[in-house]
Amino acid sequence: MSDSFRLPTPADRIPSVADQVRSFALDSAATSVHFLGETAVFVGSEEICTLVSDEERRAVDIASGAILSAATDGKRVIMGCDDGRVVEINKAGETSEIATDAKRRWIDAVAVHPDGAFAWSAGKTASVRNRDGSIKSIDAPSTVGGLAFASKGLRLAIAHYAGATLWFPNMTAAPERLEWQGSHLGVLFSPDNRFIVTAMHEPALHGWRLADMKHMRMTGYPARVRSMAWTLGGKFLATSGADTVILWPFGSKDGPMGKEPMMLAPLKSRVSVVAAHSKQDVVAAGYEDGTILLVRISDGAEVLVRANQGEPVSALGWNSKGTRLAFGTEDNAAGLLDV
């Protein structure tokens, strides 16, 4: 597989690579997909996840009920389950229980730090386990909606009702509150750690510039934003929630303040999930009608990966090299494309 690929210029005929997709069925619909090397890990909505490589495809039991959340650092995928357990799986398909909520509450959100630490939430409580095995916990003002680590330093963002909390688990300083009315259900740090963005229950995003806590309202969506991804270098934040791929500009010191988003790849269907390429300014977009497109940001050029087949795309992800794309849909279909 090559480390790069070329999308067509606007003068080219929009091509399809759908005939190059390796398609297969999963035992349950994938809610997310993550890569461990060249192995794709499809996290199911129910008890299992499925590992797919060039050599084999196999299902692995994870939970006795539902898998509610998942995150990866490229070495393992950790999953939060509805029986109060946090479980990890490695490339070999080996699993282990790495944390348990004492009250066996649902593990609603998980996050992984590059240094090996990880975080999970149960109800209002967010916890972090450091590399040395020590565990620190904090109670948010309300049920935790999402977790995210900053790329530098052990700093955790916690989304909840009426805003977000920034917490250094290994410091004695009080956590910092970022306030904005409404229910915040997901959170991301920008790759340069200058901004934090939350996805809200209403069809909108909210952001803060951390240097001075200036607010950024990102509105106009017809539906709730359920998927967000930073493009190469953090220049744009690509999102679902509309019948185009919405890309908010974050390349300047002001981020999207006072700016309109870029809108690419319009269809008569809403975008359900996005995944940004790690090496090029390209976004993969899955739609509610089952369509999947590759879209180049510079000129909006498109490549068809999968034609509309009825059920929404529910999972989409690239490997770290950007040479393999995996997807899953709500009707248990899945596929791999070597680019």
123 burial level (CB within 10 Å; 0-12, 13-18, 19+):
middle
Give the whole-angstrom CA distance, residue 183 versus residue 181.
Answer: 7
Taking alpha carbons only, the member of 328, 337, 336, 338 closest to residue 27 is 328
- CA torsion, ordered 12, 14, 20, 21, to nearest 10 deg: 150
Q: What are phi and psi of 82, to 5 degrees?
A: -80, 0
Would you say residue 4 has pLDDT above 60? no
Predicted confidence band of residue 6 (pLDDT cuts 50, 70, 90):
low
Amino acid 9: pLDDT: 45
CB 258 within 8 A of CB 216: no
Mean pLDDT of 212-217: 94
Residue at 9 is within a domain:
no
For residues 13-35, give the mean pLDDT: 93
Which are the contacts of 148, defined by CB distance < 8 A and separation ≥ 6? 111, 156, 157, 187, 188, 189, 196
Q: Exposure of 172 by Cβ count < 10 A (0-12 exposed, 13-18 middle, 19+ buried)? A: exposed
Give the range of the structural domain holding residue 200, as residue numbers without chain letter. 33-262
What pLDDT, in 10s, does the model give residues 227-246?
999 999 999 999 999 999 99
> What is the rounded average pLDDT of the residues 2-17?
60
Asked whether residue 293 is assigned to any structural domain, the reply reads no
C-alpha closest to that of 263 among 251, 275, 247, 250: 247
Considering the chain, what is the average pLDDT of its residues? 94
Rounded to an integer, what distance in angstroms lies between the CA atom of residue 76 and that of residue 61?
Answer: 16
> With 70 as the cut, is the pLDDT of residue 8 above it?
no
Task: Give me the sheet containing 48-52, strands edge to edge.
Answer: 30-36, 39-44, 48-52, 57-61
- Give the pLDDT mean for 280-290: 98
Q: pLDDT-based confidence at 5, cuts 50/70/90?
A: low
pLDDT bin (cut points 50, 70, 90) of residue 11 is very low
Q: pLDDT at residue 204 above 50?
A: yes
pTM: 0.94
Q: In what order do the strands lie in the sheet with 292-296?
A: 271-276, 282-287, 292-296, 302-306
Has residue 44 been placed in a domain?
yes
In a domain, 289, yes or no: no
The span from the CA of 5 to the CA of 24, in Å, is 24
Q: 175-185, pLDDT tens digit by residue?
A: 999 999 999 99
Q: How far is CA 77 from CA 26, 27, 123, 213, in A?
A: 18, 19, 22, 33
What CATH number should be reported for the domain holding residue 216? 2.130.10.10
Phi and psi torsions of 234, nearest 5°: 70, 20
pLDDT exceeds cutoff 60 at 12: no
pLDDT of residue 13 exceeding 80: no
Nearest C-alpha neighbor of 218 from the set 198, 234, 191: 198
Residue 209 lies inside a defined structural domain of this protein? yes
Q: How many domains does the chain have?
A: 1
Nearest to 219 by CA among 239, 205, 230, 207: 205
Give yes or no for a contact between 66 and 79, defined as CB atoms under 8 angstroms apart.
no
Backbone phi and psi for residue 2, each to the nearest 5 degrees, phi listed first: -80, 155
Mean pLDDT of 137-155: 95
Please, which pLDDT band fits residue 63 given cuts at 50, 70 and 90? Answer: confident
The DSSP output letter for 19 is G
Q: Is residue 302 included in any domain, yes or no?
A: no
Q: Which of 1-15, 32-46, 170-184, 270-284 has the lowest mean pLDDT?
A: 1-15
β-bridge pairing 146-149 and 324-329: unpaired
Is 198 a residue whose pLDDT tops 60?
yes
Query: 4 in a domain, yes or no?
Result: no
CA distance 52 to 33: 10
Q: What is the DSSP string of 102-154?
A: TT-----EEEE-TTS-EEEEETTEEEEE-TTS-EEEEE-SS---EEEE-SSSS
Please give the helix or strand (H or E) that residue 73 lies within, else none.
none
Mean pLDDT on 305-330: 96
Q: What is the pLDDT of residue 65?
A: 86
Q: Does any domain span residue 283? A: no
d(CA 271, CA 277): 17
Q: Where are the beta strands (DSSP E) in 210-281?
A: 214-218, 228-230, 236-239, 245-249, 262-264, 271-276
